[in-house]
Amino acid sequence: MNPVIGITPSIQNETNMHFVSAANIAAIKGAGGIPIILPFVVSEDQIRQIGNMIDGLYLTGGNSIDPTLFHEEPHPKLGEINPIRDQYEVAIIEEMQTQQKPILGVCRGCQILNVALGGDMYQDIYAQIDGELLQHKQHAPANHASHFVHVKEETLLREIVETERIKVNSRHHQANRNPGKDIQISGIASDGVVEAIESKQAPFILGVQWHPEDLATAGDTVSKRIYNAFVQACSENENNT
């Protein structure tokens, strides 16, 4: 059976509309998973039930994250936040970790994953990091890979991509700073910005700062490997339960 992958959607504050890009759904389907868009709930029992229903969690990109979650107040360059999404994603991440099920986070998903596990982040890299940075909010099509990421040895990401340097797209002004509990940095840009994190202990907890869904649906081999590895881990987890 194909594993069921729970996808967290974005929320539009003005209308409360929940939405997920077609590329995210296509990337999961292309790797053999069954994508399910998750509702945001607050009940612990409901969150536990959702955790029981899905074989893996996919955290998508989107708006900024409430800095009070990592004990900071809002920086002037902080973007729009949605507290309901923040609250739910932290809770479902914790539940999936308890159940030892795979998690993949992209862009904002990479950041909320780190924050949920006790890490922190830059609210705006250009205002909070000294020195000249790359263009991390590219002026190019979404499926264009615009800069390189160095992938550290002896990491899950390195095992998946099978090379020390990959080329990625980039649409962010925030980034992870200090990794959370049992989290290590596995990918970094040439300017020092953290581009990937992963668990030191869990079989598959991975966050990447770029948008592999856009690259995967355009045929990028490395991005497809990331989704294939994630869905395979979810399938193995399903078979062991």
How far apart CA 189 and CA 177 sit, in angstroms, is: 13
* Catalytic residue chosen out of the listed positions 89, 107, 110, 195: 107
Question: Is 211 among the residues known to form the active site?
Answer: yes
Catalytic site includes residue 234: no
Q: Tell me how far apart the alpha carbons of residues 189 and 196 are, in angstroms, rounded to a whole number.
A: 9
- Token pair for residue 145? 């890979």
141 Cβ partners below 8 Å, 6+ apart? none
* Residue 103 neighbours by CB under 8 Å, 6+ apart: 56, 57, 58, 59, 93, 96, 97, 113, 204, 205, 206
Measured CA to CA, the distance from residue 187 to residue 174 in angstroms comes to 15
Q: Are 74 and 119 in contact (CB under 8 A)?
A: no
- Residue from 95, 110, 211, 234 carrying the catalytic annotation: 211
Report the distance separating Cα 62 and Cα 161, nearest Å: 25
Active site residue 132: no
- Structure-block tokens of residue 16: 């409360």
Per annotation, catalytic residue among 89, 95, 195, 213: 213
H/E stretch holding 208: strand 205-208
Would you please indicate which residues are annotated as catalytic (active-site) residues?
Answer: 107, 211, 213
